[in-house]
Amino acid sequence: MAKRTSLKDSTCPVARSVEVIGDCWTMMIIRDAMLGARRFGEFQKSLGLAKNILAVRLKALVEDGILKLEPAADGSAYQDYVLTAKGQAVHPIMVALRQWGEDYAFKPGEPTTIMVDRKTGKQIKKLELHAADGTLLGYGDTTIVPSTA
Amino acid sequence: MAKRTSLKDSTCPVARSVEVIGDCWTMMIIRDAMLGARRFGEFQKSLGLAKNILAVRLKALVEDGILKLEPAADGSAYQDYVLTAKGQAVHPIMVALRQWGEDYAFKPGEPTTIMVDRKTGKQIKKLELHAADGTLLGYGDTTIVPSTA
DNA sequence: GTCGAGTGGTTGCATTATGAAACCATTTAC
DNA sequence: GTAAATGGTTTCATAATGCAACCACTCGAC
């Protein structure tokens, strides 16, 4: 039987995250939600994906507590899909994906978009990883250990 | 026709990243590579996925310049899969996924693993996003604009 | 050298997910 | 009241996934 293998019970947080949001469309839906999309039709037009696929993904995102349904902001009888706190917390992942894409997936001069500080309009810095004492950490400076909690 | 839609030509860096590494297994392979896995068999045993799937993913990762093949470190006639600079640059994404998973995908007390500073063994801080002037930025403090390059 | 185990795959086939298009029930605009 | 927009569901073809069997090459022991 060829059921898609589940990583839900893995003890690795990366595996669990990937299980929930490690899907192409799921990630793009969250991206659009962060850019202000709220309605089924908005997502569909922006992403250009089949409506059935979108319906399945949105349902899953609501079940996982990343999106929630609330009465439409424009007062109509329809509903808005809005990010929960859990959904907003995906922001750093989105930024990390964006910065990697900027660096490695574009030829110089290719048209693209950049992330800026909303207040100043200036481009943001790279994400930074710090040790407990504040030291800047790079690839190779970290390891994984079992939690002792 | 039901060909999987490609996001390769999107002008959004997030879309391009997701297109390349936004696959469940691909991400897990990179994770294992960062933890030291180098050989086909190591990946297969650690991830428990079908060998044909692994073969396809590894080939794609090599083609995308994330992994490269080099003579096995143990001197045998086999080959090692090792991360390129582009592959190592995925580290922040991995950290972001990990931190989100730690926060939202585990019940308190559930066994898991944590990321620590290799030198001190102390748990690392959260990823930080800073504005050009050094201000710490959170969700909602950023926007996307077309690049003016 | 040569026999068997281990490594690193490929091939075939069943099952599942994806995607396009058609369809349908409400809701809104006119 | 009627037409169009919204937000889906259904149907069916195609593509991806996953298991198992198979195969070529390497290595270590003898």
Q: What is the pLDDT of residues A51-87, one digit of tens each?
A: 999 999 999 999 999 999 999 998 889 999 999 999 9
Q: Residue A24: which nucleotide is closest by CA–C1'? A: C18
Q: Counting Cβ atoms within 10 Å, is residue B107 exposed (0-12), middle (13-18) or buried (19+)? A: exposed
What Cα–Cα distance (Å) separates residue B115 from each residue in A13, A93, B89, B96? 10, 16, 17, 11
User: Token pair 């509903």 is at which residue?
Assistant: A79
Res B1: pLDDT: 41
pTM of the model: 0.93
Residue pLDDT, tens place only, A19-49: 999 888 999 999 999 999 999 999 999 999 9
Confirm if B83 and B30 have CB atoms less than 8 A apart. yes
Between chains, do A13 and B123 touch, taking CB under 8 Å as contact? Answer: no
Q: Counting Cβ atoms within 10 Å, is residue B1 exposed (0-12), middle (13-18) or buried (19+)? A: exposed
Spatial separation of the C-alpha atoms in residues A149 and B79, rounded to whole Å: 39
Q: Is the pLDDT of residue A1 over 50?
A: no
Q: Give the residue with minimal CA–C1' separation from C10.
A: B52
If you average pLDDT over residues A10-14, what whole number do you get?
Answer: 89
Interface of A with B in 81-140 (CB under 8 A): 86, 88-106, 109-133, 135, 137-140
Between chains, do B114 and A145 touch, taking CB under 8 Å as contact? Answer: yes
Q: Counting Cβ atoms within 10 Å, is residue B5 exposed (0-12), middle (13-18) or buried (19+)? A: middle
> How far, in Å, is the CA of A58 from the C1' of nucleotide D10?
18
